Amino acid sequence: MSFVKFHVFQIKLHSIFILIAELNVRLVNGTGSCSGRVEVYYKGQWGTVCDDGWDINDADVVCRQMGCGGALSVHSSAHFGKGTGLIILDNIYCFGNESSLTECRHSGIGNHDCNHGEDAGVACSGEEHCSILGYIRLVNGTGFCNGRVEIYHDGQWGTVCDDGWDINDADVVCRQMGCGRALNTTHSAHFGEGNGPVLLDDVECAGHESHLISCSHKEVGKINCSHSEDAGVICSGKIPFLVSVRLLNGTGSCSGRVEVYYKDQWGTVCDDDWDINDADVVCRQMGCGRAVGVHSNDYFGQGTRAVIKDVRCYGTERFIEACSSDGFPKYSCNHAGVTCSEIRLVNGTGNCDGRVEIYHDGQWGTVCGDNWDMKDAEVVCRQVECGRALNSTHSAHFGEGNGPVLLDDVGCSGQENNLLSCSHGGLGITNCSHSEDAGVVCSGKNIESFKSFLCLDYTSNYRF
């Protein structure tokens, strides 16, 4: 049985309540997934947050909870439009270090004196894995992948001085932007002079760093440059993890025949020497976790033409392009495929709800709904990178599956990262039928794997 704890705080004669139960959060009507009107999910519906007392500390907590880094700005008076339905929270008071809004003080669920003209909003930096100096953009170029280098610090964008600026520094910028390799460095404000401060000088990268701020440099803001020395880069423009690999003819987005983009066309990969290390890299590049199946002999059907053969990966590479290969095959071959991840959601309305299925011994099977609860659902939603669990479903709510029922009597604490890490009755040991298949409804937040090393300004006009 689930329960909710309440703690009462006396502040200036007002009783302020903290509700210790996870309220899922989303941002609506913004320019991307990391800005917008703040809405929370309560008793089966989404509602808004009143802007009374809404400040940067509250916004920071929302951004952290969303996996969107720090708050860049805080908005009130329905800046992102008026919501509908309930106003769920009012008089929120966060210190700023909480991991969830429910850890902050507020007036109690549904207790407010507001209307939707006071709906609160936030604009977040967009990436949880970087320090505040990790946020980077390229400005005034001909596209997303070339331009003047600017970084975000202390509430404003600033430029980088070109003293010592070289191809190693540019390589780091291009990698951080997801724009492939550096083709050239530019100096002397080649892309025009910036505004605001010059923030970095004497940058010295080895070339392997994932963020510019990880390179050696003078103290932030300690420079002897003017904007006439603003540095820039020209990147190859290729965003390999977004466009250069795909899986076709599988049962979902994370299984199928491997195809890569080569010389302006899609082609397949020969299955010569194709192994689990190669498959792991493809799955990682696709944002699909680990490989659980390696397929050869046109398992997912034959493609039109092979464009690469004898792929040899260590298994740790981020992209298949980083693996060695023998290039274009001079003979016909069978085509390689992969099955990624050990879990999927089937027959829902999108990627983040549906019947839970796991992959074992070459086939997909379902999970029995015996004792299936929110803790189990929480683990599933985390594993499929879909945010928080909103609901657990039973009795084949998303339809009956095929194949075996693989798990029964699942008992998760809620902290596990993999459903198979939870206690269960043993793979294939069940007393259930498919009429008892379990499912989940997740909040739907899907932090793409490429964000783990990108720091993009989601409040700018740049979009993929």
Q: Is residue 428 part of a domain?
A: yes
The tokens describing 184, both together, are 């050239």
CATH number for 63 = 3.10.250.10
Do residue 29 and residue 104 come from a single domain? yes
Q: Is residue 461 part of a domain?
A: no
Do residue 420 and residue 363 come from a single domain? yes
Q: Are 396 and 348 in contact (CB under 8 A)?
A: no
pTM of the model: 0.39
Distance of CA 204 to the CA centre of its chain: 29
Do residue 222 and residue 246 come from a single domain? no
Do residue 292 and residue 306 come from a single domain? yes
Do residue 319 and residue 348 come from a single domain? no
Q: Residue 121: what pLDDT?
A: 93
Q: Is residue 24 part of a domain?
A: yes
Q: Are 301 and 257 in contact (CB under 8 A)?
A: yes
Q: Which single residue is written with the structure tokens 């952290």?
A: 64
Number of domains comprising the chain: 4
Do residue 348 and residue 433 come from a single domain? yes
Q: How far apart are CA 418 and CA 159, in angstroms?
A: 43
| Domain's final residue, options 124, 159, 175 | 124
Do residue 69 and residue 27 come from a single domain? yes
Q: Are 173 and 181 in contact (CB under 8 A)?
A: no
Do residue 25 and residue 63 come from a single domain? yes
Contacts by 420-425, CB closer than 8 A, 24 or more apart = 420/342, 420/358, 421/379, 422/376, 422/379
Tens of pLDDT along the chain (464 residues)? 222 222 222 222 222 223 323 467 888 887 666 788 999 887 777 899 999 999 988 998 888 777 676 777 789 999 989 998 899 999 998 887 777 787 788 888 888 999 999 999 998 865 433 333 346 888 887 666 788 998 877 667 789 999 999 999 998 888 777 677 788 999 999 999 988 899 999 999 988 776 788 788 888 888 899 999 999 998 876 443 334 688 888 766 678 899 887 666 778 999 988 999 999 888 877 766 678 789 999 899 988 887 888 888 888 777 787 677 776 676 789 999 998 877 888 888 766 788 999 887 777 899 999 999 999 999 898 887 777 888 899 999 999 998 899 999 999 988 887 788 889 988 888 999 999 999 998 876 433 333 333 333 332 322 22
Longest Cα separation, the chain: 82
Which domain covers residue 185, as residue numbers?
A: 132-235
Q: Is residue 418 part of a domain?
A: yes
Q: Residue 133: what pLDDT?
A: 37
From 308, 291, 215, select the one nearest 256 (Cα to Cα).
291
Q: Is residue 356 part of a domain?
A: yes
List Cβ neighbours of 154 (8 Å cut-off, separation of 6 or more): 132
Q: Is residue 401 part of a domain?
A: yes
Q: How far apart are CA 307 and CA 454, in angstroms?
A: 29
What sign for the dihedral angle of Cα 246, 249, 255, 256?
Answer: negative
Q: How far apart are CA 291 and CA 27, in angstroms?
A: 32
Do residue 25 and residue 96 come from a single domain? yes
Q: Residue 144: what pLDDT?
A: 66
Q: Residue 127: what pLDDT?
A: 44
Q: 44 φ, ψ to 5°?
A: 85, 5
| Domain's final residue, options 340, 373, 388 | 340
| Domain's final residue, options 124, 153, 179 | 124
Do residue 247 and residue 177 come from a single domain? no
Q: How far apart are CA 245 and CA 252, in angstroms?
A: 15
Do residue 14 and residue 61 come from a single domain? yes
Q: Is residue 455 part of a domain?
A: no
Strands 182-186 and 232-235: antiparallel
Do residue 265 and residue 336 come from a single domain? yes
Q: How far apart are CA 403 and CA 308, in angstroms?
A: 35
Q: Is residue 453 part of a domain?
A: no
